[in-house]
Structure 1
Amino acid sequence: MKIYLRDTVKLIHGHNSSRIKNSKSEIYRIEDMTIDLNSMYYLPNVQENNYKQSNDKTQIGQLMFNLNTYQAAVISKQNSSKIIDQNFVQIVIKDNSLDPIYLCYMLNSSNMIKRQESAFSQGVAVKRMVPNDILNLSLPNIDMNQQKKIGRIYALQIHEEFLHKKREKMISSLVNQILQNSIEEKENK
């Protein structure tokens, strides 16, 4: 059995950044989404945050969806209280019927969702996915415990990939420094 997002979520659209009056406000950007995606492993039980709806600012535990990259992330503490711009929609889960990290996994990595997204973009001209298309996506109807397990494993996988990339950068930097020091020693002799 499938469930449709239109029955379980509500979308709140971001603001046009040129119309944001307070220039001192921080705007939620794609870089912030990357940080949030890598930080999901450290989130507390976001199901209990109850998704208090905010008209224009991010809050810990909210699920954000980027309309340009079709990527989702759950807001971390580091990126709370930022203004949501027009490239994002906030996905508010009604009645705690879906685990946000599970839904994040489904939107980011599920082949089932990728096929549906692809169907929305087919035609003579490549069409961008619009917020209404998100509401027409369907998911398998699985119980909350299974959703939480899938979400937790997904968050762990993303975190492990992040740590692996960080380690690779550190090793590369260390090797480059050793090589540079070796060259400098040869030049000084």
Structure 2
Amino acid sequence: MVQLGELAEIVSGSNIVRLSESQQDRKYTTADFEHDFYTMKLANPQNAIIYQQSSSMPHMSAAILSDANKEKVISQIFAIIRIDVSRLNPWYLCYLLNQSQMIAHQYSNWLQGSVIVRFSAQLMKGVKIPLPDMTVQQNIGKLYATALYQNYLEVMQANRRLNGVLSVLRDMDEQKGDK
């Protein structure tokens, strides 16, 4: 086990109240996060990992920033994690932060009695993670990112089918109203 702070630099985002108007226009949103989460298989592994510090959605806390979003301004609800990719696979780390019961247990212990559930950059540095050899990390990370992406594609396809059916039904309803 190794502390995440030994393998990564972790920095919290900025207070959005202090952002200039041009920075507000380039602000990273929760919609950006959701997109990066499901499509992280396509992300450059050299990009930083973004972490939701106050996750309202369990199992959806960390993702690799996409090229489209890596230059956006990060608000204080997020933290940026820059890892040593020679020692830690980014998709593996995302898997751990999103799915590991061991890490969830660490957070739970740290946040007992807290009114505001927020995983600060300082707390994150102390998270203990298992560090198997790089081949194992790569295999786990690849499987995880691929499964998320396949799920995303299936949901998108199902939504297109649903929208097609709804469009046909609306057309039928309009034709019925014309009579």
- Please report the TM-score for the alignment, with normalisation by the length of structure 1: 0.82
CA contact (8 A) 1:14 1:84 kept: yes
Pair 150,89 (structure 1): closer, same or farther in 2 beyond 3 Å: same
Alignment match of 1:77 (pick from 67, 79, 83) = 67
2: CA distance, partners of 1:180 / 1:167 = 20
RMSD between aligned residues: 2.0
Structure 1 counterpart SS, 2:152 = helix
**Structure 2 unmatched ranges of 5 or more:** none
CA contact (8 A) 2:11 2:121 kept: no
- Once the 2 structures are TM-superposed, how far is the Cα of residue 124 of structure 1 from its aligned partner? 7.2
The equivalences for 1:13-52 within 5 A come to: 13-21=12-20, 23-25=21-23, 26-44=26-44, 46=45, 49=46
Alignment match of 2:119 (pick from 111, 115, 129) = 129
- Once the 2 structures are TM-superposed, how far is the Cα of residue 112 of structure 1 from its aligned partner? 1.7
Pair 125,184 (structure 1): closer, same or farther in 2 beyond 3 Å: closer
Farther-moved stretch of structure 1 (155-164 vs 121-130): 121-130
Amino acid at match of 2:17: S
- Once the 2 structures are TM-superposed, how far is the Cα of residue 20 of structure 1 from its aligned partner? 2.2
Structure 1 counterpart SS, 2:129 = strand
Cα displacement string for residues 72-127 of structure 1 (whole angstroms, at most 9, x for unaligned residues): 11111111211122222111213632111110111011222112222222237565
Moved over 6 A (4+): none
Are 2:150 and 1:160 aligned? yes
**Structure 1 unmatched ranges of 5 or more:** 50-60
Pair 158,95 (structure 1): closer, same or farther in 2 beyond 3 Å: closer
Aligned length: 173
Are 2:4 and 1:5 aligned? yes
- Once the 2 structures are TM-superposed, how far is the Cα of residue 5 of structure 1 from its aligned partner? 0.9
CA contact (8 A) 2:4 2:124 kept: yes
2: CA distance, partners of 1:77 / 1:95 = 17
Amino acid at match of 1:180: R
